[in-house]
């Protein structure tokens, strides 16, 4: 996907054959129940069961790109469960901060409040507050081979103060001009349609059903 921000440099991963859908089981490389629910909503046509990865499985995000981390998680879960696995990696990129927090979005502070406060401090006095949320998905077969990957993004800007009470993370300060709302002001159905993860999942479904 063409972006005015920062693109993946290693998007061409080796690929193998796509599966025949629906799969009996598709494992999501996450323990997050909210994320699992979103994946289950979108991926229902592709698998009889969409399950979270085992609770005792922990996967450090050690790669240098969103795609690298998504691929690492998908491969690890696929090999551990001997099932098809899907993973995502996502983050917030701010143009005036040269793409930060980017890969370190979840580690920009100890809590959501700390992360928001740090970002607002670093943007103080900046005229350009444009930003994007990006999400990269990767699908691995039971042998741990990446067979598909895609990216979704949502363009917006960083507000000077939080707005809204829904969502999580940076949602209260990420404003989507085309909707006139922050992520935290959107109804869940609206956010799923316009969000970076929603866009990535829609692209993924189109890729799986050409």
pLDDT exceeds cutoff 70 at 130: yes
Q: Determine if residue 171 is labeled as part of a ligand binding site.
A: yes
The C-alpha atoms of residue 88 and residue 105 are separated, in whole angstroms, by 14
Number of structural domains (the chain) is 1
**Residue 3 resides in a domain:** no
Q: Determine if residue 169 is labeled as part of a ligand binding site.
A: yes
Q: How crowded is the C-beta side of 133, counted as CA atoms within 13 Å?
A: 26
**Residue 12 resides in a domain:** no
Mean pLDDT (the chain, rounded):
89
- 45-65 pLDDT tens trace: 899 999 999 999 999 889 999
pLDDT at 210: 56
What domain range is 125 assigned to?
23-208
For residue 176, give every residue at least 6 positions away whose Cβ sits within 8 Å of its Cβ, in sequence order, or none. 154, 155, 156, 182, 183, 186, 194
What is the domain-level CATH number for residue 78?
Answer: 3.90.950.10
**Residue 41 resides in a domain:** yes
pLDDT exceeds cutoff 50 at 79: yes
Q: Determine if residue 132 is labeled as part of a ligand binding site.
A: no
- Reported pTM: 0.86
**Residue 16 resides in a domain:** no
List the catalytic residue out of 56, 88, 89, 112: 89
89 among known catalytic residues: yes
**Residue 15 resides in a domain:** no
**Residue 145 resides in a domain:** yes
pLDDT at 2: 35
**Residue 4 resides in a domain:** no
Q: Determine if residue 91 is labeled as part of a ligand binding site.
A: no
153-17-91 Cα angle (round to 5): 20
- 96-125 pLDDT tens trace: 999 999 999 989 999 999 999 999 999 999
Q: Determine if residue 168 is labeled as part of a ligand binding site.
A: yes
Q: Determine if residue 90 is labeled as part of a ligand binding site.
A: yes
**Residue 102 resides in a domain:** yes
Q: Determine if residue 64 is labeled as part of a ligand binding site.
A: no
The C-alpha atoms of residue 67 and residue 61 are separated, in whole angstroms, by 11
């Amino acid at each position: 996907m063409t972006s005015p921000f920062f693109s993946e440099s290693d998007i061409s991963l080796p690929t193998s054959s796509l599966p025949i859908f629906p799969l009996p089981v598709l494992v999501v490389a996450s323990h997050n129940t909210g994320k699992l629910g979103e994946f289950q909503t979108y991926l229902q046509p592709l698998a009889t069961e969409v399950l979270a990865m085992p609770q005792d499985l922990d996967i450090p995000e050690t790669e240098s790109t969103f795609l690298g981390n998504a691929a690492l998680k998908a491969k690890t879960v696929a090999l551990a469960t001997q099932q098809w696995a899907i993973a995502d990696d996502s983050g917030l990129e701010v143009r005036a901060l040269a793409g930060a927090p980017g890969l370190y979005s979840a580690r920009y502070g100890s809590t959501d409040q700390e992360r928001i406060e740090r970002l607002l401090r670093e943007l103080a006095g900046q005229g350009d507050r444009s930003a994007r949320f990006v999400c990269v998905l990767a699908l691995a077969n039971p042998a741990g081979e990446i067979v598909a990957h895609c990216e979704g993004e949502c363009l917006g800007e960083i507000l000077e103060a939080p707005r809204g009470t829904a969502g999580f993370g940076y949602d209260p300060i990420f404003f989507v001009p085309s909707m006139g709302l922050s992520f935290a002001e959107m109804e869940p159905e609206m956010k799923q349609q316009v969000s970076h993860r929603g866009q990535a999942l829609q692209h993924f479904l189109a890729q799986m059903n050409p």
